[in-house]
Structure 1
Amino acid sequence: MRFVLLVLLAVLCWTPSAYCMDAANELQGSCEQFLRAYRPSGNQGFSLQASSPGVWECWGFITGLQQLTVVADEQHRGRLLGVCTPPESTGVQLVRVVVTYLQRHPENLHRSAGVMALAALQEAFPCQQ
């Protein structure tokens, strides 16, 4: 299962024009910028006040990971990555979960952004067996 995640992250990071966050501290900084700039607007919409390009890196990373979390195993017994977000959860909620987790675990900020973000989501939204 972890091999599939590593392959998917490698493919996402291999494209020449794509920027890939290596360490969790980069993700934390980008997502903290996102939350400072975030302004809800309308029904499920938002705008970013005084945004920088780094803000969108967080959003893209988290929403990409959000899409990966719904991948089911071949027998459809459960989620492949062990994350079961409620249907009403939002991308902004996931950003907050990841930032909070990273702030609680500064000793791991040197580790992979993908591994740490996944750990945050697994802790917050474990699948019930």
Structure 2
Amino acid sequence: MRYIAATTLLFALTQVSHATDGSFLLNSCNEMLRESSGAEVGQFQAPNTLPSGFCYGAMATLQQLSSIQWSGDSQPMLSLCVPSAVRMTQYARIVVNYLQAHPEKLHEEGSYLAWAALREVYPYSSSCKR
């Protein structure tokens, strides 16, 4: 039940409609990564376009939600174990790599695919150290 609530919250907070599929997310994140490729290490260049801003917003939301826990529970709400040092551009690269590896899923909901990409790389386990 908690996972259903967490997934619903993720969808709502990323302001993603059902029309925003994996293809849109892939293009948006590729654009954001291209725009930020000239930035110095440790610096992030603000998005210049609406699509790159969409990816920025989605990755920022995932980054924030990945550390939220239910009261009295040690497991993160999204069942992710993402180290706190992982930067937003790394989130975007993980999502892009996942979407490129699974083109058959590009018609699916983008926010779900972003979560699935992160869960594949950073699944929660009882030994999770963030």
Per the normalisation by structure 1, the TM-score is 0.82
Q: Deviations over 1:36-58 (max 9, x none)?
A: 1212226x222269x42211111
Does the alignment pair 1:56 with 2:53?
A: yes
What SS is found at the alignment partner of 2:108?
A: coil
| Matched AA of 2:116 | A
1:100 aligns to 2:102 (yes or no): no
Task: Report how many aligned residue pairs link the two structures.
Answer: 122
Task: Spell out the pairing of 1:1-129 with structure 2 (5 A cutoff).
Answer: 1-10=3-12, 13=15, 20=17, 22-38=20-36, 39-41=38-40, 44-47=42-45, 51-129=48-126
Task: Give 1:127 shift.
Answer: 1.5
In the TM superposition, what is the alpha-carbon distance from 1:92 to its structure 2 partner? 0.6
CA RMSD between the two structures:
2.1
In structure 1, C-alpha distance between the alignment counterparts of 2:23 and 2:90, rounded to whole Å: 19
Identity of aligned residues (%): 29
Which of the two has greater strand per residue?
A: 1
| Gap regions ≥5 residues in structure 1 | 14-18
Shift of 1:23: 0.8
Aligned residue type for 2:106: L
Q: Which runs of 5+ in 2 are unaligned?
A: none
TM-score of the two chains, using structure 2 as the length reference: 0.82
Higher relative contact order (CA 8 A, sep 6+): 2
User: How far 1:28 sits from its partner (Å)?
Assistant: 0.5
Q: Structure 1: how far apart are the matches of 2:77 and 2:53? A: 26
